[in-house]
Chain A
Amino acid sequence: MSWGRVNNVIKNVENTYLKIENLWKYFGKFLALEDISLEIGEGELVCFLGPSGCGKTTLLRAIAGLDLQSSGTILQDGNEVSNLPPSARDFGIVFQSYALFPNLSIEKNIAYGLENTGRSKGEISARVAELLALVGLPDQGKKYPAQLSGGQQQRIALARAIATNPGLLLLDEPLSALDAKVRVHLRHEIKELQRKLDVTTVMVTHDQEEALAMADRIVVMNHGVIEQVGTPTQIYREPSSLFVADFIGEMNQIPTRAGSKNQVRLGGGLMECAPHQFNEGDEIIAAIRPNDIIPHGDSAHSLGQDDVVETESNAIEVLVGEMEFLGSFWRCRLKHEILGDADLIADFSINAVRRLELSEGANMLIELPASRLMAFARPEQNT
């Protein structure tokens, strides 16, 4: 998966371009954003990620000035823009619907923002041609939006938004109206374009894969609050809460109690885990991602030299339940008494499954690596 990109270029956040401080937003009595504070660096691509209704669009529209926040300040490039109307701010925006003007040709759509800016006709058409080339649609200028495919329309909307070289680019779910293939293709293009233009960009999405693939940093939101801000790897490897852990990627959750500083109680004994803040005996959730579970062979089946159990206490013997082939890996449901009725879900490589000759009903040894086993507070509401 593309989120596996390790050498993530983290931009220099000292050079803040957009600064949001203590922003609140009410719709009547309904609290849509609660005390949001956030800094976005110059040239950075930041994704707002969260479940539907968590306030992503609301925050984006506040940044644009389309729906004013109830209170709080927004600084853009050092200037306070908190209560300015959209037309007095400096941004380009692409909506989910693209909002292309249906009765204007593609050229005129792109040229729309260039008019009345002191540019000559010639300059405008040169700029339009340049933008069309930039988004890879050099010959489509004379057509009308309805004559283009969704993906093409999306690029035109992008071209229109960046035509005037805005300092800030806002994208509200720009890819969600497209089918999966086009989406994957376009997200690379957008990312590339953003790098090339070096424009500070905020993109709203509820697709975690998209956020992990594109963002320099991700802002995970839930119920109107920011849960965590960090690079894709930080968010994925070190989620700060169970919500983030569960929302980004998958997570096995095992209700249990804490042991000492870096231990959790599982089954009869203790397992080593990543360091946590809980007191011994606290009710917690022990969590591990399916693809972090390490399969181990016995003497007959070995995965090679590295196949050694690192932490004896974290290795358990499990019964393999249902196995499901998901193309690039196998999803296995593992049973063990410490889990009760619930299954432990593990994703094993095709290679491992073949070497270990895993099949439904077999027994096997697995290890929950200490550094990947995390402890989280239990969510308040019991469901």
Chain B
Amino acid sequence: MSDATFPSTVSGKPIRRKLSRDDIIMRGSMIVIGLYLLITMIFPLYAMLSKSFSTYTFDLAGYEIQVSDETGTNFNEPVTFADLNNTLSVLTESDLSAGSDGRLSVTQFFPDFSFRSSVNYRIRNTSATGRFLVGSTLNDTTDWVELDSNTFRRVQLRPVEARGIDNFRTYFGTPALSNSIKNSVMIATISTIITVFLAFWFAYALNCSCMRFKGFFRLVAMAPILVPSLLPGIALVYLFGNQGMLKELLFGASIYGPIGIIIGSVFFTFPHAFLIISTALSISDARLYEASVVLRGSSWRTFWTVTIPGARYGLVSAAFVVFNLVITDFGLPKVIGGQFNVLAVDIYKQVIGQQNFEMGAVVSVILILPAIVAFAIDRLVQSKQVALLSARSVPYRPSPKAELDWALFGFSSLVATFIIGILGVCQFAALVKFWPYDLSFSLNNYQFERMDGGGWGSYLNSIKLGLLTAAIGTAVIFFGAYLVEKSNGFRTGRTVFQMFAMLPMAIPGMVLGLSYIFFFNNPSNPFYFIYGTMAILVVSTVTHFYTVSHLTATTALQQMDREFESVSASLKQPTLKLFRRVTVPVSMPAIMDISIYLFVNAMTTVSAVVFLYSPKTSLASIAVLNMDDAGDIAPAAAMGMMIFYTNTAARIVHLIASRGILQRTQAWRSR
């Protein structure tokens, strides 16, 4: 074989492919969806990042001023405010840092200033970047402006913007803020350990024992996915709060704080961990178990030498997913965190409470870091798991062991009781007059119109958001995945697109929401018009849940014969016809899964949309948050349970529809 490399040995010039109409359509579409991700994710994140490095200070040396005598005509030599401040020391260094909206009045530099005097003033910017206001008129030229003293008191300096790490310095210099890092990491770590432990044994009971009622347990385990993460917080308040029934169980400790957050986090992350570990256990190889039995290994040894190594990747992956979910969750600590500060809530407090957008951006940047690390490790582990899966063999069939089975049944019953209990408490509290004093039945709590939070309108908005997200999101994401998987050439474009598609998973919802404010809430942005509408909620939700859907679609597409596109091209048929006639029908199960996933998440999400809803587009999940905030806890619970029932109904509809569609489109599956 030749040892020289291309193109030196090649006779003739290298060839460039002529693009077919299909190639152009597919590349064009991919660029469009890529641009969508660029605009709905990369640009906003960039806006946020740059915000976190933006500092605003009043530059006193940037202005020159002349003061006249009483006649109003003879002006002294020009001086800067910096000179004046040096002699008078009116302002300290820290008084000079400001927010983007900061204004500084100038009369304080003139101790004997009187707006009635006949003294006149002249002021100008020394550089073209300087700005000051006279009333509401902005002056940004270096020309002198002459003002009488009555007008001069209405002069205000505007800060100049600079780049720097001052915001971060402030953040780490303020223990009240930076302590949240420790708090968040601690909460996430403890929740992860507990959840993974519980989920593992639960999954073990369902996959590796002959326990009864497995179907029921499986259903219960998935229930928390159907409610907003803050719902367990409400239940915990009812149980262990100031008027809680079981308050004594805490022996004086308060549920408002780490304890509440951890219990609630275990509840809402349980299904995620359970699913991952269960998958890992269900693909374990029966032959290994048989080998171990043949070698007369004790059950205990089998467990440590076969079960745990087999589930290793699942456990690691589950741990990172749970960690990520807890550290980025906002709803739960908001409801039950009390004075205990965590990162996600800090973002909210900085932005909504104190209007300090720069600091909100700083906290966001800090919150992204652990999320990205957890995400990267999870992806790495997942790819290993796939390799394991493809080498899979005989599925394991457990044999009955009475004692173990009963022990596991007991354990699973406890977990199920916990889950059902949390949901039950919410439902019960929603249906009684006044917990815990008057437990008679009442529907008062469902009169959402009387409460803060948007009433039934917000519930309808949520359904609208769910349906729109499911419809638009599924279409965009599946088509995008198709383009990446099946188009020819265009290697760079596809790699970039794939990276874009993976990124949303690493971006916490709070961060995404905040970055949308920075990017879209800006009159000079051509997409400004979607700000405050349902559209921005749909866009943010689709982007927020893009990655998992994209991966589902990609997996389904990869299972399809690679040569369909080649055959279609050889038959001179447009690729889009193939997409419509073959790809979509064959992938219908995956498409259905993506749409229900998007719907359920759109119904329950709080974090991204909390920054983006407007009074007209309030959502059910936001209503739960706001009603709870306003002290209307029972209606909050009632609304939370409405979300639960809606999602349950959606799942049932999805199940029935899937059956129907499968029968129609997948007739070929049955032989």
List chain B residues, Cβ under 8 A from A84. Answer: 18
Task: Decide if A184 is an interface residue (CB 8 Å cutoff).
Answer: no
Looking at A93-101, A287-295, A307-315, A362-370, the stretch in contact with chain B turns out to be A93-101
Interface size in chain A (residues, C-beta < 8 A): 49
Contact B567 A103 (CB under 8 A): no
List chain A residues, Cβ under 8 A from B570. Answer: 64, 86-87, 89, 91-93, 113, 161, 166
Min CB distance, B60 to chain A, in Å?
61
Q: Which of A86, A93, A166: most chain B CB closer than 10 A?
A: A86
A83 to B6, CA, bound (A): 18
Task: Decide if A321 is an interface residue (CB 8 Å cutoff).
Answer: no
Contact B563 A99 (CB under 8 A): yes
Task: Decide if A153 is an interface residue (CB 8 Å cutoff).
Answer: no
Task: Decide if A8 is an interface residue (CB 8 Å cutoff).
Answer: no
List chain B residues, Cβ under 8 A from A87. Answer: 20-22, 569-570, 572
List chain A residues, Cβ under 8 A from B577. Answer: 116
Q: Are A95 and B567 CB-contacts (below 8 A) given A22-B12, A104-B581?
A: yes
A70 to B13, CA, bound (A): 9
Q: Which of B2, B15, B17: most chain A CB closer than 10 A?
A: B15
Q: Which of B266-288 touch A at CB < 8 Å? A: none
Q: Are A70 and B563 CB-contacts (below 8 A) given A34-B2, A93-B570, A101-B581?
A: no
Q: Which residue of A lies closest to B666 (CB)?
A: A103
Min CB distance, B438 to chain A, in Å?
59
Contact B573 A112 (CB under 8 A): yes
Contact B668 A146 (CB under 8 A): yes
**Among B2, B6, B561, B667, contact of A99 (Cβ-Cβ < 8 Å):** B561
Q: Which residue of A lies closest to B567 (CB)?
A: A99
List chain B residues, Cβ under 8 A from A232. Answer: none
Q: Are A224 and B1 CB-contacts (below 8 A) given A71-B12, A85-B20, A99-B567?
A: yes
Task: Decide if A228 is an interface residue (CB 8 Å cutoff).
Answer: no
**Among A97, A99, A146, A164, contact of B669 (Cβ-Cβ < 8 Å):** A146
A164 to B570, CA, bound (A): 10
Min CB distance, A187 to chain B, in Å?
21
Contact B23 A73 (CB under 8 A): no
Task: Decide if A82 is an interface residue (CB 8 Å cutoff).
Answer: yes
Q: Which of B1-35 touch A at CB < 8 Å? A: 1-2, 5-7, 9-23
List chain B residues, Cβ under 8 A from A246. Answer: none
A29 to B4, CA, bound (A): 9
Q: Which residue of B lies closest to A112 (CB)?
A: B571
Contact A29 B563 (CB under 8 A): no
List chain B residues, Cβ under 8 A from A86. Answer: 20, 566, 569-570
Q: Which of A94-121 touch B at CB < 8 Å? A: 95, 97, 99, 101-104, 112-113, 115-117
Min CB distance, A334 to chain B, in Å?
37
Contact A72 B12 (CB under 8 A): yes
Task: Decide if B564 is an interface residue (CB 8 Å cutoff).
Answer: yes
Min CB distance, A194 to chain B, in Å?
17
Q: Which residue of A lies closest to B4 (CB)?
A: A31
A73 to B23, CA, bound (A): 22
Task: Decide if A3 is an interface residue (CB 8 Å cutoff).
Answer: no
List chain B residues, Cβ under 8 A from A73. Answer: 12
**Among A95, A112, A166, contact of B563 (Cβ-Cβ < 8 Å):** A95
List chain A residues, Cβ under 8 A from B585. Answer: 103
List chain B residues, Cβ under 8 A from A160. Answer: 567, 571
List chain A residues, Cβ under 8 A from B19. Answer: 85
List chain B residues, Cβ under 8 A from A376. Answer: none
Task: Decide if A43 is an interface residue (CB 8 Å cutoff).
Answer: no
Contact B572 A31 (CB under 8 A): no
Q: Which residue of A lies closest to B571 (CB)?
A: A113
A126 to B510, CA, bound (A): 62
Contact B16 A83 (CB under 8 A): yes
Task: Decide if A17 is an interface residue (CB 8 Å cutoff).
Answer: no
A104 to B12, CA, bound (A): 44
Q: Which residue of A lies closest to B12 (CB)?
A: A71
Q: Which residue of B lies closest to A91 (CB)?
A: B570
**Among B1, B13, B564, contact of A101 (Cβ-Cβ < 8 Å):** B564
List chain B residues, Cβ under 8 A from A83. Answer: 15-18
A91 to B569, CA, bound (A): 10
Task: Decide if A223 is an interface residue (CB 8 Å cutoff).
Answer: yes
Q: Which of A197-241 touch B at CB < 8 Å? A: 223-224
Task: Decide if A316 is an interface residue (CB 8 Å cutoff).
Answer: no
List chain B residues, Cβ under 8 A from A69. Answer: 15
A115 to B420, CA, bound (A): 56
Min CB distance, B140 to chain A, in Å?
56
Q: Which of B485-509 touch A at CB < 8 Å? A: 488
List chain A residues, Cβ under 8 A from B16. Answer: 83
Interface string of B381-406 (1 = CB under 8 A from A): 00000000000000000000000000
Min CB distance, A98 to chain B, in Å?
8
A84 to B488, CA, bound (A): 13
Contact B671 A66 (CB under 8 A): no
Task: Decide if A88 is an interface residue (CB 8 Å cutoff).
Answer: yes
Min CB distance, B478 to chain A, in Å?
16
Min CB distance, A128 to chain B, in Å?
14
Task: Decide if A26 is an interface residue (CB 8 Å cutoff).
Answer: yes
Q: Which residue of B lies closest to A144 (CB)?
A: B668
Q: Are A115 and B20 CB-contacts (below 8 A) given A29-B5, A70-B15, A97-B563?
A: no
Q: Which of A319-370 touch B at CB < 8 Å? A: none
A82 to B17, CA, bound (A): 8
List chain A residues, Cβ under 8 A from B5. Answer: 26, 29
Q: Which of B13, B19, B488, B566: most chain A CB closer than 10 A?
A: B566
**Among A99, A115, A161, A224, contact of B573 (Cβ-Cβ < 8 Å):** A115
List chain A residues, Cβ under 8 A from B7. Answer: 70-71
List chain B residues, Cβ under 8 A from A104. Answer: 581-582
Contact A29 B15 (CB under 8 A): no
Task: Decide if B586 is an interface residue (CB 8 Å cutoff).
Answer: yes
Q: Which residue of B lies closest to A69 (CB)?
A: B15
Contact B582 A103 (CB under 8 A): yes
Min CB distance, A170 to chain B, in Å?
8
**Among A66, A71, A147, contact of B10 (Cβ-Cβ < 8 Å):** A71
Q: Which residue of B lies closest to A21 (CB)?
A: B12
Min CB distance, A32 to chain B, in Å?
10
A170 to B571, CA, bound (A): 13
Q: Which of A127-147 touch B at CB < 8 Å? A: 144-147
Interface string of A151-170 (1 = CB under 8 A from B): 00000000011011010000
Q: Which of A6-43 touch B at CB < 8 Å? A: 22, 24, 26, 29, 31, 34-35
List chain B residues, Cβ under 8 A from A166. Answer: 570
Binding site for B on A (CB under 8 A): 22, 24, 26, 29, 31, 34-35, 64, 66, 68-73, 82-89, 91-93, 95, 97, 99, 101-104, 112-113, 115-117, 144-147, 160-161, 163-164, 166, 223-224
20 A-B pairs with CB atoms under 8 Å apart are: A26-B5, A29-B6, A34-B2, A64-B570, A66-B569, A68-B15, A70-B10, A70-B14, A83-B15, A83-B18, A87-B569, A87-B570, A89-B570, A93-B567, A95-B563, A97-B563, A99-B566, A101-B564, A147-B668, A160-B567
- Additional A-B contacts beyond A101-B581, A113-B573, A144-B667 (14; CB < 8 A): A70-B6, A71-B7, A71-B10, A72-B15, A85-B569, A87-B20, A88-B18, A89-B570, A95-B566, A102-B582, A103-B585, A116-B577, A160-B567, A160-B571
The 7 closest A-B CB pairs, nearest first, are: A113-B571, A85-B20, A144-B668, A99-B563, A86-B569, A87-B569, A71-B10
